[in-house]
Structure 1
Amino acid sequence: MSDSLKQLKEKIYDEGTIGQLLDELGCTDVRINSGRTGDDLVTARLPGSSNPRGAQIYLSENLHTELVGEGISGDIYSLVGFILYNCISFDDVRSNLFQIKTYICNALGYEHTGNDFTKEKQKTDWNWWLRDIQKKRPKEYEITENIVLSQDILREFVPYGWEGWYQEGIDVLTQRDFGIGYHIPTDRVSIPIHNSRGELIGVKGRYVGSNKEIKENKKYSYIYSCSKSIEIFNMHRALPYIKKQKKVYVFEGAKSVMTMWAWGIKNAVSIEGDRLSPVQSKLLKELGIDIDLVFSWDKGKDEDFVNNQLRQIKGRRVFYLYDNTDRFKDKMSPVDRGREVFEDLETNDKHIYSI
């Protein structure tokens, strides 16, 4: 483990901020359980759980953590990774460490430069009466950037749209706007990924070959990889329409965004997954206080999940679409049954999020 990650755990332990972090994560029933030396621990109920001791964090500099019933044994990074990014293995946590560390520092108001954290022990908090005010102040995230790729790599892809999406309502002009192509070596429809400035940073592929195992387990993968959690798909195209409409629709996947574009609704973006990262939250907030954020998750997410994701966004008008009448089957996008059903969903089942 890097020095900065170790120092961050030590800082949490030294300053006794584990309770504050659990509160920020939406955990409840936080308790300190004292026992024999070395056995003191903090227990808490995980969001959406019925077990009041589902999270158990041992009070030592390592902050060893057990998530009872989830089969997860690790440290505080495992806890944050599980709640925010559905991390269930060490590799999952490792691949999300930047986002996990960023979230913790933001949640606890820790300032740091590079990998350095202050080593000071906890002091008397003479400004305790300011804490509620300080928690309402805007917090900043570190943001790294994906490497910008040469446009020349797009020559590797046949520049035609895919008939399968055309049959599903994504017309040829829309597919051309999004640069949809075909990658012959991998039998994948290609989707260029750009950053908010419109620079090419990756290429995602949708498998359309005949291998059943790939279709079931690896339908989408990156031909040219990038970190999706620090980008918002289609932001560079959608921005002028977002500013004009004073509203942005936020979906899980690129296909939903392209479907909306084909309908003439061009103020839509995607977070390329179901978990909103801290950096994506920051990018959405930077659109301005006059922009309504309308989140549109696929069917199957319960309201606890939705609330846990949206609690990262404060000081904005935030809405979410939630299907209460079984318009959709599990895992269906809100656009999968056509524009009329989507408009009915927005008219009758759009809810405002309140903290």
Structure 2
Amino acid sequence: MALDKDKIKESLTEADIKLILADLGSDLKLADKMIFQTVCHHGSKHKLHYYDDTKQFHCYTDCGENLDVYELTVRAKKHQGIELTFPEAVKYIASLTGKYYSADTALDKVNSHLISDWEFINRYKKKKQINKELKVIHNRNVFQLFSPYGHISWLNEGISHETMRKFNISYYLRDDRIVIPHYDIDNNLVGIRGRAMRKEDVESGRKYMPLLVGKTQYNHQTMLNLYGLHKTKDAIKRLKKIALFESEKSVLMCEDFYGEDNFSAAICGSTLSRFHVQIILSLEVEEVFLCMDKMFHDPDSKEAEIYAKKIMKFANMLSPYCTVYVLWDDFGWIDYREAPCDRGRKVLEDLMKAKYEVKTLNEGAIV
């Protein structure tokens, strides 16, 4: 269930505020005047005033700021040695006061027609299995044409030299593209993609393309493969979970975030195929995290609702077999077209903590 932070805050009575401040460790000797000890910066003075008409606190000492109850909670908990995210602060206030008001996000509004486990499985089995195999590229001499050093733009985004070497990332000066080799789960080279660095290539829709060297195009069907599994499959099997991103860059970022615990892979596009699903199920995972790029500006817009329908279709392909979570940005932590990891590890983990669980029909709706 998504909580409506505004409804919860507006519903708080003075008695609720006193309860919250007491739980945060404030001395309540002036509480009848709605004046509290300055827990916002771990102070001892009673200079923290609460104004019910604005639902705001004001600290008249070190902070000198207006704070709402959620920001106050985050700061007070931090001084207690507890790192609390904004969504966790909302849940804390709701739990403490019993003020649970749900918010209808785009994911909640989508009538996704979730189906039961058996109905989905029967439908899935009725489809004729198509045997498709990726062609292996045996001649790897082409790598001699590339610079073995990573591009400065990716270094600036936090992808280390070590990670780029591990995934064999290089650079093709002639075409001005970052070279991204693709391997199957058994470490066979199956394709090479290039990330364009020229502005005109990016603006013309050729940002990610199969690499063309001379007359040879190193293309492959991305729908048949998940990028990064040749390096992350051990962590995925050990942890029994997989985080699915859209681009290769996200997998590389997660490698620097988590190292041997990197359980990510990329679909290399914006479509989850049934071949991807087969690969995921073969890994015997118990949890899947859909970490798709943010393709909406306003979380309450029609644009967001349309995108939510697409994400729910992906979720429904997996939910009969494992627990599926969707990372959905209700708080404006990332920008339009950004991936959940683009703003760093902390934002990614905040989104993980605020994730939505998708359940099949016999279990209930989104929670």
The one of 254, 279, 291 equivalent to 2:248 is 254
1:186 aligns with 2:175: yes
How far, CA to CA, are the matches of 2:155 and 2:292 in structure 1? 23
1:271 aligns with 2:260: no
Checking the alignment, whether the CA contact within 8 Å between 2:244 and 2:290 is kept in structure 1 is yes
Aligned to 1:299: 294
Checking the alignment, whether the CA contact within 8 Å between 1:190 and 1:203 is kept in structure 2 is yes
Checking the alignment, whether the CA contact within 8 Å between 1:161 and 1:175 is kept in structure 2 is yes
Checking the alignment, whether the CA contact within 8 Å between 1:242 and 1:291 is kept in structure 2 is no
CA offset at residue 207 of structure 1?
A: 1.4
Greater displacement, 303-312 / 254-263: 303-312
1:177 aligns with 2:170: no
How far, CA to CA, are the matches of 1:232 and 1:293 in structure 2? 14
CA offset at residue 138 of structure 1?
A: 8.1
Higher relative contact order (CA 8 A, sep 6+): 2
Whose Rg is larger?
2
CA offset at residue 273 of structure 1?
A: 0.8
SS in 1 for 2:352: helix
CA offset at residue 155 of structure 1?
A: 1.8
After superposition, the Cα gap between the structure-2 partners of 1:291 and 1:134, relative to the gap in structure 1 and judged at 3 Å, is closer
After superposition, the Cα gap between the structure-2 partners of 1:134 and 1:330, relative to the gap in structure 1 and judged at 3 Å, is closer
- Structure 2 counterpart of 1:144, one-letter code: K
The one of 318, 322, 335 equivalent to 1:316 is 322
How far, CA to CA, are the matches of 1:295 and 1:283 in structure 2? 15
Equivalenced residue count is: 224
TM-score normalised to the size of structure 2?
0.57
Checking the alignment, whether the CA contact within 8 Å between 2:172 and 2:178 is kept in structure 1 is yes
Q: Deviations over 1:154-213 (max 9, x none)?
A: 22211111111111110110111111111122111101011111100111111123xx32
- Structure 1: where are the runs of 5+ without partners? 1-47, 49-129
Checking the alignment, whether the CA contact within 8 Å between 2:169 and 2:178 is kept in structure 1 is yes
- Structure 1 counterpart of 2:201, one-letter code: I
Aligned to 1:216: 203
Matches within 5 A, 1:53-202: 134-135=122-123, 141-149=129-137, 150-202=139-191
Q: Deviations over 1:187-240 (max 9, x none)?
A: 11101011111100111111123xx32121212111111111111101111110
Q: Deviations over 1:242-261 (max 9, x none)?
A: 11111111101100110010
How far, CA to CA, are the matches of 1:147 and 1:276 in structure 2? 21
TM-score normalised to the size of structure 1?
0.59
How far, CA to CA, are the matches of 1:181 and 1:345 in structure 2? 31
1:344 aligns with 2:350: yes
Matches within 5 A, 1:221-236: 221-223=209-211, 224-236=218-230
How far, CA to CA, are the matches of 1:131 and 1:332 in structure 2? 35
The one of 300, 303, 328 equivalent to 2:334 is 328
CA offset at residue 142 of structure 1?
A: 1.6
After superposition, the Cα gap between the structure-2 partners of 1:140 and 1:263, relative to the gap in structure 1 and judged at 3 Å, is farther
Checking the alignment, whether the CA contact within 8 Å between 1:319 and 1:353 is kept in structure 2 is no
SS in 2 for 1:263: helix
CA offset at residue 136 of structure 1?
A: 7.3
The one of 277, 281, 285 equivalent to 1:285 is 281
How far, CA to CA, are the matches of 2:357 and 2:269 in structure 1? 21
Q: Deviations over 1:84-122 (max 9, x none)?
A: xxxxxxxxxxxxxxxxxxxxxxxxxxxxxxxxxxxxxxx
Among all aligned residue pairs of Structure 1 and Structure 2, give the percentage whose two residues are the same amino acid: 27
SS in 1 for 2:174: helix
After superposition, the Cα gap between the structure-2 partners of 1:167 and 1:144, relative to the gap in structure 1 and judged at 3 Å, is same
